[in-house]
Chains A and B, each alone.
Chain A
């Protein structure tokens, strides 16, 4: 088992595995980040991803086009994020509660639709699904190490990396980004200058919906080719943890997501490798323990910083 793992590290196929697993964490974390910066942190990422996962595969299999499927999934999540905005900004539901409601809704609604539309319980496994394509770069593909590093990744991997760049530019180089940060930090100041606080918060939620939608579509049409109930398995919450660790900026989020992706990847590798004597439960626990550990270390570091000051 270990020799197999080492081989994968050496020829960089492990990079592909890590990236593959990191994509949904990264995308949902970016969505969480933008909404957090505007002061309306979206904790409903889990539910949103489920809704997109279901919608995109349902539409995608019917229209036989991955693109239409992804667009449908994203449209669904953006709409629901805006609805979240309505409930929290107009009806004054606490944003955390609204996010929590979206999570429960996402889980229940997708199971409901699985039953109502397809008559299935548990999973939907269409034949000949038109998946999100994998990108193979012709010449680079044949170069031994570089090929594994750059070629053969799913389109969504590239999209998520672009998303990091996009987020960075959006937040720090555009007026919108400045408005976003002011709305989250000092909404009264923003309002007094005629900045539409609510409009910005709605848009921030829409962005988070967009990213969650992409992540969800990837679950059912990239990572796998099916929809299983509750298939996101806590990824949305890992994304929220990453926002904290990434110090609320896109580069930090990228690094944090890679770290978690790494932890997840190791879990999968160790679990599926033959001759593994470690019980599956402990392996599954690794990402969660890592998160708690990282949270504690992070918090201790913060405390030491504060103690040094006083």
Chain B
């Protein structure tokens, strides 16, 4: 089947899945709510109804793009690493340290330095489960899940006992970052910080990496058929470790961008499951870097909509989670895609035979 029509069909499948999931969400609203129309309106329309909401959507999408990319890369290599959450914290910590305790640098140098340190932190932490899997065949699902807890607890300890800003009171955080470290708003009208551009740039870079470079070629082959890759002389162990390191680096940037763009300081437990959301994003985007941008945007849109829905009606915002789960299941249902492709294929053949 031609690559292009197959691609379009995939897109169609995902779009229809999204519509179905949202419709089911509406049905649930009708069942539980006394003000269904208000709830639905909030969910669907509010996110773009004003600049503040829309800007919030973009802000929420930013870290999701990073973690979605992180998971896409590692899934493509055939590694089921679920460690984005922990790598995010480690990277955020390294980057935040640079952002907070190094004064007197111009922003043009400070911010890239922060990002580099965040990448380093995330990559190094990602190397641990990567090495364990590559050289000892240790199950990466279990190891990364456990290491997440270790990372979050360690950073929490450091924030509460070593680097705590005395002025922070009950909710521990590092002191506020240097002014040169801050990612400001790019537009006065929107509350969005320029992290969104870094995120989109990252997606483009990862796309180029995966499809246009030799490293990406090797990574994809290792994910699709490691025996074939080994037979061709590709160092599969190296690729596995590198993939988790790249994933960790992306998660790390995602974490630190939240710090320097949104919060202004490294706050304890600032991530509310961003790493796990990344898994959903990657699945929705079917591990495609550009798809990640769309999926992250959709996901963030849903989150903001659900939040306003909870404020303006009697429906709990966890409805968004239910919609997301439905969407993941529908998108991952290979049977649907295979069925669609067969129908089209058969119709085309039928036409050819008729001629």
Contact = CB atoms under 8 A, between A and B. Distances in A.
A–B contact via C-beta, under 8 angstroms: yes
Interface of A: 43, 87, 90-94, 96-98, 100-101, 104-105, 107-109, 111-112, 115-116, 234, 237, 240-241, 244, 279, 281-282, 284-285, 288-289, 291-292, 295-296, 298-300, 302-303
Interface stretch (B102-110, B248-256, B276-284): B276-284
Given A87-B329, A104-B321, A279-B157, A92 B138 contact: no
Interface of B: 32, 80, 132, 135-139, 141-143, 145-147, 149-150, 153-154, 156-157, 160-161, 276, 279-280, 283, 315-316, 318-322, 324-325, 328-329, 332-336, 338
Contacts of B149: 234, 284-285, 288
**Which of A43, A115, A302: most chain B Cβ within 10 A?**
A115
Given A90-B335, A281-B160, A295-B143, 9 more contacts: A91-B329, A92-B333, A98-B332, A101-B328, A101-B329, A115-B318, A234-B149, A240-B141, A299-B132
A291 B150 CA distance: 11
Contacts of A115: 316, 318
B55 to A, nearest CB: 25
B157 A91 contact: no
B157 to A, nearest CB: 4
A303 B279 contact: no
Given A104-B276, A281-B153, A296 B329 contact: no
Name the 5 nearest CB pairs between A and B, nearest first.
A108-B321, A299-B136, A91-B333, A112-B318, A115-B316
Contacts of A101: 325, 328-329, 332
Given A93-B329, A96-B80, A285-B153, A237 B322 contact: no
Given A100-B279, A299-B132, A112 B142 contact: no
A240 B329 CA distance: 22
Contact of B142 (A105, A240, A285): A240
Chain A interface main SS type: helix
A111 B318 contact: yes
A108 B333 contact: no
10 contacts: A92-B338, A101-B328, A108-B325, A112-B316, A112-B318, A116-B316, A234-B149, A240-B142, A295-B132, A299-B136
B156 A281 contact: yes
A303 B137 contact: yes
A244 B153 contact: no
**Which of B142, B146, B322: most chain A Cβ within 10 A?**
B146
Given A237-B145, A282-B157, A109 B138 contact: no
Given A101-B329, A104-B324, A281-B153, A299 B138 contact: yes
Nearest to A111: B318
B153 A295 contact: no
B27 to A, nearest CB: 14
**Which of B138, B154, B276, B338: most chain A Cβ within 10 A?**
B138
Contact of B322 (A108, A234, A289): A108
A241 B136 CA distance: 16
B138 A295 contact: yes
**Which of B276, B283, B332: most chain A Cβ within 10 A?**
B332
Contacts of A105: 321-322, 325
Contacts of A104: 276, 280, 321, 324-325, 328
Contacts of B135: 303
A43 B276 CA distance: 14
A300 B136 contact: yes
Contact of A112 (B157, B321, B334): B321
Nearest to B335: A92
Contacts of A300: 136
Nearest to B276: A104
A22 to B, nearest CB: 18
A265 to B, nearest CB: 18
Contact of A292 (B147, B160, B333): B147
**Which of B136, B316, B329: most chain A Cβ within 10 A?**
B329
Given A98-B329, A101-B325, A295-B143, A91 B150 contact: no
